[in-house]
Amino acid sequence: MSAPEIVTFGEAMGLFLADAGTPLAHARRFTRTLAGAELNTAVALARLGHAVAFAGRVGDDPFGDDVRATLRAEGVDAGALRVDPSAPTGLLTRDQHGERRLRVVYHRAGAAGSRLTAGDLAALPIEQARALHVTGITPALGPTARAATLAAVERARAAGVPVSFDPNFRARLWSAEEAAKVLRPLALAADLVLAGEEEACWLSGCDDAAAAATWFLRRGARAVAVKRGARGAWVADGERALAIAARPVALPVDPVGAGDAFDAGFLSAWLREQPLERCGAVAAAVGAACVQSAGDLAGLPTGAELAALLDDETEVDR
């Protein structure tokens, strides 16, 4: 693969997904697939026609084998993905419902992904990329993963490579107080902030999506997208600010992964220098496509499928 357009890194996990509609406590049948915020976004971007590289750690086990095979099959460069023989690939088990609260059980403590180091990212060609995408999950995994995240962002900024950041706060991994000390500086270092509404307001201290977006823009962000779930999104770039309607989904199957898919759609259109409204529309379409299939990856659209969703006559540029 030539130099990647977009690079990212993080935790890749095996996922056991209960049959649709069956509460996890009563589930007896599961589908095995993969999960991980950055992995989801990497695959989504690759399907949209971008050259993507992914780095991280997986165990020397069948789940790690699956991560590597899936990334290769999706066209993602996994040359910087390290196999750790002393730790397993992380796992999670969850159910899937379109309308009710999900139950999720993680088996990630001490897993390979939590042992990520800055050295593991040495082979990731950050300086040659057009963008680095990071989330707030990786620095929550442990001290070395946190240091790796900060070092990667510093490398990108030193090279003039735009940083895309999704806070992705996970209360199971760390407290809000501890997280804010790390996530707020990362958000302020980002060129593109892609945050849920609650996260955006929390990190900015503002009361609503529009005010939060303005807060980030005044502190250096070039574009901000505040995700509001079924209420769409608020997007702004310093020149324009507008509400993006959520795309109607007649039968939502599985909401998990929609935020990662939204990130990929927005980042894809933004890197193609498309207008702000188009960035929001692409993001909403990719997110809506994701929730119509079970699992984090199955519903992610290709460029041709996205063009059809947007009623375009031509495929998204490849």
Residues with catalytic function = 260
User: Which residue is it, tokens 């996970």?
Assistant: 170
The CA R_g of the chain, rounded to the nearest whole Å, is 18
Q: Are 137 and 260 in contact (CB under 8 A)?
A: no
Among 225, 224, 196, which Cα is nearest to 137's?
196
The DSSP code sequence of 120-148 is GGTTS-GGGSSEEEEESSGGGS-HHHHHH
The DSSP string of 80-125 is: EEEEETTSPPPEEEE---SSS---EEEE-TT-GGGG--GGGGTTS-
If you search the block for the tokens 């759609």, which residue do you land on? 265
Backbone angles phi, psi at 280, to 5 degrees: -65, -40
Closest CA to 227 of 207, 206, 213, 248: 213
CA distances from 119 to 116, 124, 272 (A): 8, 10, 31
Give, for 42, the enclosing helix (H) or strand (E): helix 37-47
